[in-house]
Structure 1
Amino acid sequence: MLDTREDVLRLLGRLEFSSSRAAIKVGVSILVAGAVALIPGYEALSTQGHWALFILILAALLWTTEAMPAFAVSLLVMGLAIVLIGHPGRGADPKAWVMFVRPWSSPLLWLFLGGLVMAEAATRTGLDRWMAAGVLGRLGRRPAPLLAGVLAVTFILSMFMSNTATTAMMLAVMAPIIHSLPREEGFAHCLVLGIPVAANLGGMGTLIGTPPNAIAASALHATPIGFGQWMLAGVPPAILLVLASWFFLRRRYPWGVTEVDISAIQEVPGGTHAPLWQKLVVMAVFTMTICLWLTTSLHGIPSPVISFLPITIFAVTGVIGADQIRRLQWDVLLLMAGGMSLGIAVSETGLAAWLVALLPTEQWGILPIIIAFVVVAVVMSNFMSNTAAANVLVPLAMALNTGQDAATVVPIALGASAAMCLPISTPPNALAYATRRVKGTDFVPIGIFVGLLAPIVTVVWTWFIL
């Protein structure tokens, strides 16, 4: 599965690993970070703040240049924070370094792990393809409702599954239709481009939809945001963006077909032979878990605790085994933990407050500043991991002290999911490009459209709803 930008580039044939090139990138990143953070000697910044600035710049450069895997950068961040800021050793205050390893036990990591286990169970039993094909096979032959249905199914599945896995599955389900159409047919373009767009935007909808959401939620430890509250903040703007994308794709790529043969998708391609009882168990646990997540305010059980329901039941019943556990995206959890450690380093050393003090908040006002943060998140996420972008920006946004922390950082996470201008912007984009039915330039118009609309929609909505 394409879980990293490195995997994406390899798929597109644009990456051939070179240890010498990687070493040069690391060396240059260290020199630049040291020159900016350590040499000037900013008087208003503490020694620990200087080290935090060094770690922040170094991490941003390594994530951007991809000199090493993204999860490795997170581990490096954690190690540097412990050594340079925590100063572990004889006579040292344990609290000074323990706070950097505390993210390993963050409840949000367990929440996200529960989502990964649920997605793996759905994939292993073939439930995801069975549901997708069953719904799409009943939408009729007209292109407009079929495209809307494809976007809707992709959007909903990606709220609870990996965006990459959802895209791969939906492209496989729709492959018979896509390949039956002429290469220049606009409807084929709409399908191939619409699936990754809907998958990327669907990740906005839930706390487990995509890692940036968990990064933002972890920063809100003083005023935690629940599963249902996040959906209230994320789903409406995401739906609006998907609807806008549907209209945009229709106008951008007019189709010549009036009817589509859907008989090929009424049977599940590549379905598994999982027993019916396993599919029933997965459906029941899915339903129960989501209902419990959405009703936390009624029963009081925290969302991370509820995540143990699918983890435990699927393991005990044998729905998932050791092989499936090994296939989980552990590197994503490492990336998230390292990002949380970076956020602690940036905030606890006073670096975040120092950096935010440099911003023209009084001249611009809070809302324009937040919109600017979201725009930066969109731009950065087009060229680096959206999780890495959230890791860098969320701690800085928290230091704005707007009095509405959730309305400040949630749009940044949502904006990170709206980056899709290039084939390499997201793994779903790369999978769509790999079909060879669209060109790299085809991603630019829809990417710019969503990227311009998302900051305004997400900031305005979350400001009034959170």
Structure 2
Amino acid sequence: MKKNFNKLLIFLSFIGVLILFYTKPSPAISMLAVMAIMALWWIFEVVPLSITSLLPLILYPLLGIMSTKSIAPVYASSLIFLFIGSFFVAIAMQRWNLHRRIAIFIMSRMGGSPYQLLFGCMLSTAALSMWLSNTATTLMIFPIVLSLVASFEQLDSKNSLVNNESNSLFYKLLLLSIAYSANIGGMGTLIGTPPNIVFSRIYSISFPNAPEVSFAYWMFVALPIVIALLLFVWGFFCFLMKKSNLSLNISDKIFEEEKKSLGIMKPEEKKVMAVFLLMIVSWIFRKNFVVGSFVIPGWSSFLSQGSLIDDGTVAIFCAVLLFILPSKKGSLLNKDAVMKIPWGIILLFGGGFALATGMKESGLLHSLTSYLSVFQSFQDWQIVAGLVTFMSFLTEVTSNTSSTEIILPVLSSLSKATGISPLLLMMSGTLAASTAFMLPSATMPNAIILSSGKISIKEMMKIGFFINLFSIVIISVVTLFFI
């Protein structure tokens, strides 16, 4: 059924393009059609998402929107290299087991109760997800927690007095906490999740004369949301655990065995940690941070060519360092690391940037502004709350990356039509795209956890619904207050 539907969609898209090619409407109309085709192909996955992202390279010149020469460079913007550089750091951490050491260290320090272990698991996942992609973080933490759950289940089988039903709930919540914490932590920085990277580029395309949204400013707005959501999820999970009369005692021996298997910190781990910290500090303190009349100068302001440096420069510098610094196996990273970069996601980014550029160059954004003026009668808080709710539930059934790529250019027009700050609309919409906690189709972390076979979609939906609702409230309130 799906295969036949996809064939029909391809046929109709082909007919539509032929009609546009021969009738030669305005570039704005052609761009609207391209946007509709890409949206449908993304939603129904007619072809892989990354391949749909390449359609502008074919359709723009064919329909007179832009030349291939003009649109191709957006597929290799500085933000693309920001993502590539950070992913190389994630690969290095995984290669030398640094991620495991960090996670075990945090979890073991939280104490021996299930509630403290849950908090430790969430804290370590969110902390890593802020600086590495949420998908990469989930793939790193998931096997660690899965092995802990297997150890606990083995102990349960030897103890006939254990309440297996309540313990089983704890194991499910522990696994769910990885996905939810990865999604939440990813909201905290510009590099944490793909929608944030999409926002940064589309905002700069839509408003080229506006000040750059720096790492520090993004964190200033997003961190209160991250902290509030983490505490809520932890409190909500603790409530569910107490309600089930949990009777699990966590032995320190489990963590001692994990630490013993890791051994002392190797020189390679120390080097990767140093590069990781260098990248974080360089990102946060690159630009001047302004609070009222108080200015904290960024390190780039002390360089004669500092204005030419951006976060992509920092990420690639750190990535190259990993290929230079020595290890017992040659260097910290080798050529195999290049094959582990998720090139499909990178093409997906490029497709979103191409959409935003095409909408601007074709005049479609200008045309949308007049139609969206009907929202002028609404209050700011009503528009923001409605937008956040819409994005939260839309991304339950569509890719959050492709959704933000389609919606953000429209929000830039909405801001011009209503006079609302574009930063308020686009940031709140972007953050809401990471708050889909109900379905595995929403984000990769959700899908990875569901693949364990220990959680059903029904259970994920029941728990995730309440977290969605709280997320909508907290994002609406914080963005209205801070932006």
TM over 0.5: yes
Q: Residue 378 of structure 1 corresponds to which residue in structure 2?
A: 392
Match status 1:189 vs 2:179: no
Cα pair distance change 1:268/1:161, threshold 3 Å: farther
Distance 2:143 2:276 in 1: 23
**1:159 maps to which residue?**
130
Alignment of 1:238-253 (within 5 A): 238-253=226-241
Q: Letter of the 1:65 partner, please give it.
A: F
Unpaired segments ≥5 residues, structure 1: 1-16, 89-96
Identity %: 26
How does 1:12-411 map onto structure 2 within 5 Å?
Answer: 22-28=6-12, 47-86=26-65, 88=67, 98-179=69-150, 180-181=152-153, 182=164, 184-185=166-167, 186-221=169-204, 222=208, 223=210, 224-253=212-241, 254-255=243-244, 256-268=246-258, 276-296=266-286, 297=288, 298-300=298-300, 301-317=309-325, 318-359=331-372, 360-400=374-414, 401=416, 402=419, 404-411=421-428
1:419 aligned partner, one-letter code: A
Please give the secondary structure, in 2, of the residue aligned with 1:225: coil
Unaligned 5+ segments in structure 2 are: 154-163, 289-297, 301-308, 326-330
Change in 2 beyond 3 A, CA 1:358/1:450: farther
Q: Distance in 2 between matches of 1:85 and 1:275?
A: 58
| Contact 1:245/1:446 (<8 A) preserved | no
Contact 1:129–1:271 (8 Å) recurs in 2: no
Instruction: Give the C-alpha shift of residue 276 in structure 1.
Output: 2.1
Measured in 1, the distance between the counterparts of 2:55 and 2:352 equals: 11
Q: Does 1:450 align with 2:441?
A: no
**Partner amino acid for 1:370?**
V
CA deviation string 1:300-322 (max 9, x = no partner): 25222211221110122221111
1:310-347: per-residue Cα shift (whole Å, max 9, x none)? 11101222211111111111111111011001011122
Change (3 A) 1:269 1:382: farther
For residue 438 of structure 2, what is the aligned residue in structure 1?
421
**Aligned partners of 1:262, 1:392: CA distance in 2, in Å?**
49
Q: In the TM superposition, what whole-angstrom CA distance separates every residue of 1:62-94 from its partner, at most 9, and x where no partner exists?
A: 111011111111111343123323464xxxxxx
1:310/1:397 Cα in 2 relative to 1: closer, same or farther (>3 Å)?
A: same
Q: Which amino acid aligns with 1:299?
A: W
2:161 is aligned to: none
Query: Greater Rg, structure 1 or structure 2?
Result: 2
Q: What amino acid sits opposite 1:67 in the alignment?
A: V
Matched residue type, 1:333 = I
Residues 333 and 133 of structure 1, relative CA distance in 2, 3 Å threshold: same
Amino acid at match of 2:44: T
> Shift of the alpha carbon at 1:128?
0.4
- 1:274 and 1:355 map into 2 onto residues whose CA distance is 60
Kindly indicate whether the alpha-carbon contact (under 8 Å) linking 2:75 and 2:353 is maintained by their aligned counterparts in 1.
no
Question: Taking structure 1 as the reference length, what is the TM-score of the superposition?
Answer: 0.86
Q: Partner amino acid for 1:167? A: T
Distance, in Å, in 2 between the alignment partners of 1:156 and 1:172 is: 17
Letter in 2 for 1:191: L
Q: Is the 8 A contact 2:166 2:247 kept in 1?
A: no
Cα distance, 1:371 vs. partner? 2.9
Please tell me the residue identity of whatever aligns with 2:425: T
CA deviation string 1:125-183 (max 9, x = no partner) = 11001111122122221111111111111111111223223223322212243232435
Higher mean displacement: 121-130 or 346-355:
346-355
Distance 1:358 1:238 in 2: 35
Instruction: Note if contact 1:114-1:308 (Cα within 8 Å) is conserved in structure 2.
Output: yes
Q: CA deviation at 1:356?
A: 4.4
Q: CA distance change for structure 1 residues 354 and 368 in 2, over 3 Å: closer, same or farther?
A: farther
- Secondary structure of residue in 1 paired with 2:127: helix
One-letter amino acid of the structure 2 residue matched with residue 134 of structure 1: F
Corresponding pairs, count: 436
Residues 82 and 100 of structure 1 are in contact (CA less than 8 Å); yes or no, is this contact kept in structure 2? no
Task: Give CA deviations for 1:239-287 in whole Å, capped at 9, x if unaligned.
Answer: 2112111122222343412522343244449988999222111111111
Question: CA, structure 1 residues 353+461, in 2 after alignment: closer, same or farther (shift >3 Å)?
Answer: farther
TM-superposed CA distance for 1:50, in Å, is 0.7
Distance 1:81 1:273 in 2: 56
SS of 1:424 mapped into structure 2: coil
Task: State the 1:385 CA deviation.
Answer: 1.2
Equivalent of 1:434 in 442, 451, 473 = 451
The one-letter code of the counterpart of 2:299 is: H
What secondary structure sits across from 1:423 in the alignment? coil
**Does the CA-based 8 Å contact 1:78-1:338 persist in structure 2?**
no
TM-score where L is the length of structure 2: 0.83
1:423 touches 1:440 (CA, 8 Å); kept in 2? yes
Q: Cα–Cα, structure 1 residues 87 and 173, in superposed 2: closer, same or farther, change >3 Å?
A: closer
Would you say the 8 A contact 2:53–2:348 is kept in 1? yes
CA spacing shift, 1:412–1:292, aligned 2, 3 Å: same
Deviates more, 1:46-55 or 1:273-282: 273-282
Distance 1:278 1:21, change over 3 A: farther
CA distance in 2 between partners of 1:188 and 1:442 (Å): 13
